[in-house]
Amino acid sequence: MDGARAEALKRASDATIGLLARAVDGAASARTLGTHRIGSGVVIGSDGLVVTIGYLILEADDVNLELDDGRHIPARVVGYDGTTGFGLVQALAPLGIAPVPLGTAEVVAPADPLLMVSGVRAGRAGVLSPAHLVQRREFAGYWEYHIRDALFTAPARQDHSGAGLFNDRGELVGIGSLLLADVGPDVAAAGAAAGSGAAGDATPRASHKPGNMFVPVDLLKPVLGELRTSGSTRASNRAWLGLNCNTRDGRLVVLRVTDAGPAQAAGIVPGDVILAIDGAPLHDLAEFYRRLWNEGPAERAVKLDVERAGGERVQLTVQSVDRRTTIKRLDGI
The secondary structure of residue 217, as a DSSP letter, is G
- Residue-wise DSSP of 236-270: G--EE--EEEEEETTEEEEEEE-TTSHHHHHT--T
Q: Where are the domains of the chain?
A: 12-99+225-232, 105-220, 237-326
Q: What is the pLDDT of residue 190?
A: 40
Q: What is the pLDDT of residue 242?
A: 94
Burial class (CB in 10 A: 0-12, 13-18, 19+), 176: buried
Q: What is the pLDDT of residue 287?
A: 94
Q: What is the pLDDT of residue 121?
A: 62
> CA 177, CA 93: separation in Å to the nearest integer?
27
> CA 308, CA 299: separation in Å to the nearest integer?
26
Burial class (CB in 10 A: 0-12, 13-18, 19+), 80: buried
Do residues 245 and 256 touch, judged by C-beta distance below 8 A?
no
Task: Classify the phi-psi angles of 85: left when phi > 0, otherwise alpha if psi is within -120 to 50, otherwise beta.
Answer: left
> CA 274, CA 314: separation in Å to the nearest integer?
10
CATH superfamily of 105-220: Trypsin-like serine proteases (2.40.10.10)
CA atoms within 13 A on the CB side of 306: 21
Q: What is the pLDDT of residue 200?
A: 37
- Whole-prediction pTM value? 0.89
The neighbour count for residue 195, using CB atoms within 10 Å, is 9
Q: Which CATH class is domain 237-326?
A: mainly beta
Q: What is the pLDDT of residue 272?
A: 97
Q: What is the pLDDT of residue 189?
A: 44
CA atoms within 13 A on the CB side of 225: 1
Fold agreement between 12-99+225-232 and 105-220: yes
Q: What is the pLDDT of residue 226?
A: 96
**Per-residue pLDDT for the chain (333 aa), expressed as one digit of tens each?**
678 888 888 999 999 999 999 998 888 888 889 999 999 999 999 999 999 999 999 999 899 999 988 899 999 999 999 999 999 999 999 999 999 999 999 999 999 999 999 997 654 556 889 999 999 999 999 999 999 999 999 999 999 999 999 999 999 999 999 999 999 875 444 433 333 333 334 444 456 789 999 999 999 999 999 999 999 999 999 999 999 999 998 899 999 999 999 999 999 999 999 999 999 999 999 999 999 999 899 999 999 999 998 899 999 999 999 988 877 654 444
**Could you tell me whether strands 164-166 and 239-240 are parallel, antiparallel, or unpaired per DSSP bridges?**
unpaired
Maximum separation of any 2 CA atoms in the chain, in Å: 68
Is the omega angle on the peptide bond into residue 155 within 30 degrees of 0, that is, cis?
yes
> CA 96, CA 99: separation in Å to the nearest integer?
9
Q: What is the pLDDT of residue 301?
A: 97
The fold of the 12-99+225-232 domain, in CATH, is Thrombin, subunit H (2.40.10)
